[in-house]
Amino acid sequence: MPILVMKFGGTSVADLERIKNAAQKVKREVERGYDVIVIVSAMSGKTNELVGWVEETSHLYDAREYDAVVSSGENVTAGLMSLTLQNMDVPARSWQGWQVPLKTSSAHSAARIEEIPRDNIDAKFAEGMKVAVVAGFQGITDEGRIATLGRGGSDTTAVAFAAAFDAERCDIYTDVDGVYTTDPRISTKAKKLDKIAFEEMLELASLGAKVLQTRSVELAMRFNVRLRVLSSFEETDENSGTLVCAEEEIMESNVVSGVAYQRDEAKMTLVSVADRPGIAAAIFGPLAEAGVNVDMIVQNISEDGRTDMTFSCPTNQVARAEQAMTKAKEDGEINFHGLVADTEVAKISVVGIGMRSHAGVAAKMFQALSSEGINIKVITTSEIKVSVLIERKYMELAVQALHDAFELENAG
Amino acid sequence: MPILVMKFGGTSVADLERIKNAAQKVKREVERGYDVIVIVSAMSGKTNELVGWVEETSHLYDAREYDAVVSSGENVTAGLMSLTLQNMDVPARSWQGWQVPLKTSSAHSAARIEEIPRDNIDAKFAEGMKVAVVAGFQGITDEGRIATLGRGGSDTTAVAFAAAFDAERCDIYTDVDGVYTTDPRISTKAKKLDKIAFEEMLELASLGAKVLQTRSVELAMRFNVRLRVLSSFEETDENSGTLVCAEEEIMESNVVSGVAYQRDEAKMTLVSVADRPGIAAAIFGPLAEAGVNVDMIVQNISEDGRTDMTFSCPTNQVARAEQAMTKAKEDGEINFHGLVADTEVAKISVVGIGMRSHAGVAAKMFQALSSEGINIKVITTSEIKVSVLIERKYMELAVQALHDAFELENAG
């Protein structure tokens, strides 16, 4: 029997009605001939309630107890989903992480999946079970304690099961109906993509398209698991949603697949830094220690042994960055004349694997922005993306202009 | 290190404040030199929420899934209690049923405890853990599935742990401060007992003193586990509450330890039943099948081959009993002239192990009731109790009169 993995997030199982709706989608796949592994999140709101209790109890809490408490939300959904399926005459049973067992590292609250032995679930499939409903986000350590996987854990659980069971596909049901060329709230011309390559999805995810957690896409890419993102709240069929897959599976890649943005960026410039070997480490070491997530980095050409160093980070980390730099200066580790923070910028990126074989994407991007009178403050490029920082007030305009320039209304 | 088992029910851990209060009681016992095993229930209301979801999902639900869902409430409390203790610098960790592992039969939702191996918890005590916080009400079957113990399961878990770990005592913290000579709402002279024998507690429990579940008292009696009932909401010390223990531990037994009552009893009489061998089975077989909980049974002296058969049952089962009897008559299995139901009766019982060596308890009881002009409708007796049915409107008066007659205000 071919195996399909289906994952339902918190809003998709928020109450009994929605669990029933999700179960109907599962039943349809069983009728199509699949053995199904369903990964469920906690009913929305439940995890927050549990986390709230733990945090109110203790500030510096034991992560093992945190995990024991928080994992219970998924267990409840798994049982209820299994009962709902049984009610529809679909042979189903629930599995908590330790019952599978999904083995993890002992990094509680942020554990890595180490192994998913197939034996137990395969044996039940052989006995006639059609659906294994697995509580997502959790596993068991070598010490026999429950560990949760941290942010994005349920998506990651789903992909890991798909890899372990050689699933035909891993369907991620969520509250959007796929991956779009850009945010439909910003451009009404935004188009749902039928397919997107793993690499593109990674760039889009880390750039703020919050459909899939980066971690699960990385895992899918590594094990070549075909991921599909689709809506739990609409009628869906074999062609719904967006397929995230290997580049080879996409016949004719778009040069550009999407336009992403990050609203709350800040641009910081260290003016006239003494340019010497090791200066980058002397700057970005202390920033990393201070917990500043540095994104873009640009170094100007050196003049008279001094240079300007510009980087971007989230606006709410500016104070922290300033503190770290001032301290590094006082300690004599770096030397600069001034520190200029511009907190009114946004980042815009165009992403597409087709770029590799098409020159001129960056030029076309700069031209489109220039036509709208938008000034570019910082540029960085990678193999499949070009990112720029611009004044925040032009952000929406820039996204729309770029969406038009690359004719993304014809994508899909 | 001597081991103490402490059990906290749902109202005693209803919120974080109460969990903290309970944890303080645990800490005090650790300071007294005990290694402590704490058994916790779900925060009050949580189990009902979970049961509600299961029942709304499915009428004829899979008990294995019911158990998987419902057991999660206790897991949450166990984690939170452990965190709270750690916060007070008490080395603690939580244990879910399967982690102990508490092994049960596979009678899901009403499983029996089969074994509690000590190894895992003992190993942690040896490493310096002072408190094992165990999620009550649950265990694991041979098939590796979660099973719950059903009604009174958390009390029973506590007693079973006390037996398995040779605990010095099993303290049951609840919302009353002990076992009383009668219901204080009915007699202001009701007195808290310092000690009560297992056998007496069993009679009082099954007669409606709802402090301890019958099942846990039976288990405690079998393994001679000293049980103490005390309040979570008051300051408590070594002498608080009521100790339920073996008869031998009670130096001077009271002739009568308590007066119990059951308000909603009904008395039913089958008039002029043909008296023949097997007639009792022919009557009470169909009643049992119909789910009628028959309590007292009295058979009159036979005259001319016919007799009257009287029994009592809860008032809300009268209709069911009538139906069963009518059907049995139609089927020709029994023959009677009439069926009289009196739904306006109550049962009063006096209980005490001292009765065994003291004659005259029944006589004194009848005398006391007679002095108040209360007519007795049915009488049954056992070794350590005498029960009567009387008109319901005299119930409070009867309890007070008997409490006075046996001078229970001097008990304790």
| B155 and B266 in a common domain | no
| pTM higher than 0.90 | no
3-state secondary structure of B305: coil
- Per-residue pLDDT at A18 exceeds 80: yes
| B267 and B163 in a common domain | no
Hey, what's the torsion of the CAs at A185, A229, A24, A151, to 10 degrees? -90
In a domain, B24, yes or no: yes
d(CA A155, CA A136): 8
In a domain, B223, yes or no: no
With an 8 Å Cβ cutoff, the interface of chain B facing chain A consists of: 16, 19, 50, 53-54, 56-58, 61-62, 64-66, 68-69, 72-73, 75-76, 78-80, 82-84, 86-87, 93-94, 96, 98-99, 144-146
| B161 and B34 in a common domain | yes
Q: What is the pLDDT of residues B117-129, one digit of tens each?
A: 999 999 999 999 9
| A142 and A32 in a common domain | yes
- Per-residue pLDDT at B302 exceeds 90: no
d(CA A48, CA A26): 27
For tokens 């509250």, name the residue: A175
Sign of CA dihedral B259, B263, B265, B267: positive
| A26 and A168 in a common domain | yes
- Per-residue pLDDT at A155 exceeds 80: yes
Q: What is the ipTM of this complex?
A: 0.81
| A290 and A160 in a common domain | no
In a domain, A199, yes or no: no
Residue bearing the bigger pLDDT, B93 or B288: B93
In a domain, B320, yes or no: yes
Residue B279, number of CB atoms within 10 A of its CB? 20
Give the end of a domain, one of B137, B153, B175. B175
What is the rounded average pLDDT of the residues A76-84? 98
Give the end of a domain, one of A127, A142, A175. A175
Give the count of domains, chain B.
2
Give the end of a domain, one of B175, B207, B238. B175
For residue B372, the enclosing domain spans 259-410
**Between chains, do B57 and A78 touch, taking CB under 8 Å as contact?**
no
CB A402 within 8 A of CB A259: yes
Q: Where are the beta strands (DSSP E) in B195-275?
A: 195-197, 227-231, 242-245, 258-274
d(CA A68, CA A139): 10
Contacts with B98 from chain A: Cβ below 8 Å: 98
d(CA A33, CA A21): 19
The C-alpha of A116 sits at a distance from chain B's nearest C-alpha, in angstroms, of: 17
In a domain, A194, yes or no: no
Q: Which of A22-26, A157-161, A355-359, B91-95 has the lowest mean pLDDT?
A: A355-359
Radius of gyration of chain B (CA): 24
Q: What is the pLDDT of residues A219-244, one digit of tens each?
A: 999 999 999 999 999 999 888 999 99
B390 vs B267, B365, B404, CA distance in Å?
10, 13, 18
Which pLDDT score is estimated for A152? 79
Q: What is the pLDDT of residues B31-53, one digit of tens each?
A: 999 999 999 999 999 999 999 99
The CATH number given to whatever domain includes residue A318 is: 3.30.2130.10
The CATH number given to whatever domain includes residue A55 is: 3.40.1160.10
Question: Rounded to the nearest 5 degrees, what angle is found at the Cα of B214, between the Cα atoms of B213 and B217?
Answer: 95
d(CA A80, CA A67): 21
| B399 and B272 in a common domain | yes
In a domain, A253, yes or no: no
Residues in chain A, total: 412
In a domain, B224, yes or no: no
**Between chains, do B79 and A54 touch, taking CB under 8 Å as contact?**
yes
- Confidence band, pLDDT 50/70/90 cuts, at residue A41: very high
Q: Give the closest of A69, A78, A80 to B80, CB-based.
A: A69
Tell me what percent of the residues of chain A surpass a pLDDT of 90: 76
Which pLDDT score is estimated for A173? 96
In a domain, B217, yes or no: no
d(CA A294, CA A177): 32
- Which residue out of A57, A64, A81, A120 would a mutagenesis test of the B interface target, given it has the greatest number of B Cβ atoms within 10 Å? A57
**Between chains, do B93 and A64 touch, taking CB under 8 Å as contact?**
yes
